[in-house]
Structure 1
């Protein structure tokens, strides 16, 4: 196939996610045309370490022939079925395998097309249940600043990344946002314990102010991923769950990023943070990015409240339980377990975090934080996290450029650099990845110094 005009076609016809209108039709994006293991291959044939792991999702790495075969075999046998009127053994099997690994009584898997629709489904189910149990006014969703839960209308409405909310409408009456839970911004001299108490009090105060009879759910990522890999203070989730139980508020744990191994466990809610939520949303790693899929996993307790009612949960998608995606999900689980990838993440995670912390030595690095195989480097002109953002987008773009020419793709998020590589990454590959990132950060620091002197 002749791809000589691909750049022009991309600019003329491919409207990308988060497309900046100022450069519409004039972008010079990198074309990714191949991949193997932890590496991507661009249009020039150059191999690049996939630092972001796609979009947090390429757990088992690229080029898995057995994954392609499993998907192809399913497509040959049955490429599609209508989930509205029929069912399919592959989808049923995948639902069972997810339920076996989910914590507690989260045994009811509603398949979606991705993370955004998983969050939409969770919110719609919460509202549906409250309507059926005679509490139609109990609809408010409490979320947090810097949270990202998706880009469909409901999911975007409960997302708290300020700059994502500037130009699109949202359901303003649906969500209430709690202040930033990033320990980096605690009051000078404030102890970790006092900060934790403050953040938990934020939730309880919000429920009381809004009225417990009006608040349906609290939605929280265990680690705020796209908001900059923000790790709340230790004990935060468990105490927030207790507050939710006190006021009969449901707890939705958004594990679109953290589930399927990113923190070394199938699900992080219970295994890492000690909570059993009412609903878990997941996507991304459930197929390692080989096929689109998501899910809202709902507890038996909530299902019992609506079972037997004369009502229809009229929410669903053409591709719910898609058999090829389900086949990819089953093979993904098989590979992760056979190769002990969860155990591997727990082994190499400390190496990743140690390498991440060493970047604090660089002048422009204001913070370095993360868990498992998730990390974020936050930069500023003077290395102070409380400084007003200056040249913020330029810093992120420059780090991206400096790293890419050295063989590493990163994900620039304004003045932050986010990393979440494929879970199969080795210790030596982690060290190599961070060596390149260090060079990119140092080159960016030098560049900032030069332009500041002008």
Structure 2
């Protein structure tokens, strides 16, 4: 639309990019596809923003929102309850790892991560360890943009403008095995090393100062880093040894994205806290949650104690109603099982692209993949900053969209193309993704 830049301030957007052109404007969606204001169709290869898990155009979710809004549009969870929040909390804990039975609702992922850090600090103060306040997280990892979550985030480029940040963020290596040549072909050895880097960080900082370790099951930023074998088992041991809370940031990795309701189940570990958002409503209304182990609420259950934290729209009645309808849809269509059934085909289809000279690595799990782009496959030489700018923003982002594929071309870390289609996608969409990527990446290599 010609007037989109007149008043709308878009998120994470170089506004100058549209000084001489119109902003792409998406007007409707159906299944795995969206259409723009000119009537052009695009395959939604990112589920909006890792959000629309159930697919676009689900009228039953819209109807659930309308019904709830007509009955009770809003009431806070500050000393009161409402039925949809009560029911949704019960539904969620039936799906979480055992013992994670307390659901604190937010409106999104940053707020969920912020809530987890605040809970960790408040909890340790109440159990006689008031100096435990720091959080360990991984380089390049994204955990949100609010000031606390930003301190946990490991992306320097999006932090500089807002420094000084909340103190206490500590960074350790991520699990990008493709960039760990010293470990050869032994991912288990790499996993032990990466986990033990968390141990070394805790020891350097002083265990008496560290409250939590925050990790995604599959790290998003950098291009979908799955955990090496044994990694989370070792991290769990380390957290137990030093009395540190393990927070599984599943804002992306929950609600079927990895073929399980929660990523912790996919990789067989039990966190103390799960943070979630996005796919909990498939994006039909904003909602997030911090899901905590029973022991973490115990200090707040007596006398005049309380967790002095709240969010006006956390657990909004309409959002909770949409989430309940979303979970009904998941169960009825077995969307989580659909991902497990088709994830191998998705991987193998994307791996066809490894015959291209520009494709260095294809990695991920479930319906969550990154394709790392390189200058030299043999040496794994990456692009420098100027080359990456020309490749990703100067060509790939626009060319992929023009070819009918909405996805992410990103260089937070090494240059990657990220894919996370709606969970309804099948081989037809996999083939379409591969064909578009093949044509556009071939042209990109010719330009390189």
TM-score of Structure 1 vs Structure 2, range by shorter chain: over 0.9
Q: Helix, strand or coil: the match of 1:201?
A: helix
Cα displacement (A) at 1:24: 7.4
User: Is 2:212 the counterpart of 1:228?
Assistant: no
Q: CA deviation at 1:310?
A: 3.1
Q: C-alpha distance in 1, partners of 2:381/2:447?
A: 21
> Could you tell me how far 1:187 is from its partner in structure 2?
3.2
Are 2:400 and 1:406 aligned? Answer: no
My pick for the range that moved more, 40-49 or 401-410, is 401-410
Question: Which piece of structure 1 moves more, 51-60 or 296-305?
Answer: 296-305
Tell me by how many angstroms 1:339 deviates: 0.5
Compared CA separation, residues 391 and 27, structure 1 to 2 (3 A) = farther
Equivalent position of 1:184 in the other structure = 178
What are the equivalent positions in structure 2 for 1:35-434 lying under 5 Å apart?
A: 35-171=29-165, 173-188=167-182, 190=184, 191-269=186-264, 271-308=265-302, 310-383=304-377, 385-389=380-384, 390-397=386-393, 398-414=395-411, 415-434=415-434
> Could you tell which deviates more after superposition, 427-436 or 396-405?
396-405
Give the C-alpha shift of residue 27 in structure 1.
6.0
CA distance in 2, matches of 1:204, 1:188: 20
* Alpha-carbon RMSD: 1.6
Q: Which stretch of structure 1 is more off in the superposition, 172-181 or 250-259? A: 172-181
SS in 2 for 1:351: helix
Question: In 2, Cα distance between the equivalents of 1:393 and 1:165?
Answer: 20
Q: Distance in 2 between matches of 1:418 and 1:193?
A: 25
The 1-side partners of 2:21 and 2:147 are apart by: 27
**Partner Cα distance (1:320, 1:120) in 2:** 13
Note the alpha carbon deviations across 1:195-233, whole angstroms, 9 max, x for none: 222112201111111111111010000101133111121
Report the CA distance between 1:307 and its aligned residue.
Answer: 2.1
Taking a change above 3 Å as real, the CA distance of residues 26 and 79 of structure 1, as seen in their structure-2 partners, is: farther
Tell me the CA shift for residue 66 of structure 1.
Answer: 1.0
**8 Å CA contact retained: 1:367, 1:385:** no
Report the Cα distance in structure 2 between the residues aligned to 1:345 and 1:160, rounded to whole angstroms.
29
2: CA distance, partners of 1:251 / 1:189: 26
Report Cα offsets for 1:271-308 as digits up to 9, x if no partner.
21111100000000000010100000011121123321
1:189 is displaced (CA, Å) by: 5.6
- In 1, the alpha carbon distance for the partners of 2:381 and 2:167 equals 31
1:429-440 to 2 correspondences below 5 Å: 429-440=429-440
Deviation at 1:357, TM superposition (A): 1.7
Which residue number corresponds to residue 15 of structure 1?
9
SS in 2 for 1:126: helix
Cα deviation per residue 1:15-48 (whole Å; 9 max; x = unaligned)?
A: 1111336547556431101111100101110110
C-alpha contact 2:5 2:23 (8 A) present in aligned 1: no
Partners of 1:183 and 1:232 within 8 A in 2: no
Change (3 A) 1:42 1:21: closer
Shift of 1:365: 1.4
The answer for unaligned runs of 5 or more in structure 2 is: none
Structure 2: how far apart are the matches of 1:290 and 1:260?
Answer: 14
Q: Which moved more, 1:305-314 or 1:381-390?
A: 381-390
CA contact (8 A) 1:154 1:170 kept: no
Could you tell me the TM-score, scaled by structure 1's length?
0.93
**For residues 353-410 of structure 1, what are the alpha-carbon distances to aligned partners after superposition, in whole Å with 9 as ceiling and x for unaligned?**
1112221111111221111101111113344544352511222232222222221111
Note closer, same or farther for the CA distance 1:22–1:65 as it changes in structure 2 (3 Å cut).
closer
SS at match of 2:102: strand
Deviation at 1:14, TM superposition (A): 1.2
Q: Distance in 1 between matches of 2:182 and 2:294?
A: 44
TM-score for the superposition, normalised by structure 2: 0.95
